[in-house]
Amino acid sequence: MRVATWNINGLRARLDFVLHWLRSRRPDVVGFQELKIDEGQFPYSIFEEEGYSAVVQAQKAWNGVAILSRTVPRLRQSGLPGQEELGARLVEASIRELTFITVYCPNGKHVGHHDFSRKLSWFESLAMYLEGRHTPSEPLILCGDFNLCPAPIDSWNEEGMEGHIFHTDEERERFRRLTRWGLADLFRDTHPNEKRFSWWDYRAGAFHRNHGLRIDLLLATRPVSTRVEEVTIDRDFRKKKDGLIASDHAPGYADLDL
């Protein structure tokens, strides 16, 4: 079973690129973030032609998350309870015995901005949501754009950016609450010493200089994490394909013995 996550940075702008990736990598389940369309614009029929059913939480021109699955998903939750004012950022579905959640965590802008405290509150609500509705003994995947580097190895410039947005102790402590609950970081567990990134700014040649951050994550409970065969950050799909412009995020996927 191949499960994936990808911040596509606008579905209307990226649809042909996404279809190219789906045909090439053939994931069984994928969580998308940053759709930037309302639900009426979501191309359900196009994805159905590719063999995928979808559940979506969308909002016009901003945010938005979706789950695509080859097995029809059953919607369990749309939106993070108590955090509705921060937009469409969570959708959860059951896919056979698997619980699959994808999230688009708030950016926070910078540590002095009001949105930074709202970001921390959002993460606290996410942890409470998991603790209140799920258990670490169930097969569960939480994936998405977390808008933080879990550890110094996940930044190209930890020394220069320590204490700045994505690199703060406050953000990392909220992330550790998720891992203490029972979620494993599948890429880091599989590649403990590898410095790889999932996001690169479009500006200043960041991608070609490999000035990136690993902020797009696949997390899973033990019933899933113990079945991992390989985890890949699909850097090749951060590049242009046939004249199509890529997202500033690379997809990530894990192959599971499920």
Active site residue 145: yes
Active site residue: 28, 52, 129, 145, which one?
145
Residue 137 burial (C-beta neighbours within 10 Å; 0-12, 13-18, 19+): exposed
Task: Name the active-site residue from 52, 104, 129, 253.
Answer: 104
Asked whether 130 and 220 are in contact (CB, 8 A), the reply is no
Strand-pair category, 216-220 with 140-145: antiparallel
Q: Tokens for 98?
A: 């698997």
Separation of CA 84 from chain center: 19
The CA distance from 176 to 158, in Å, is: 18
Task: Report the catalytic residues.
Answer: 104, 145
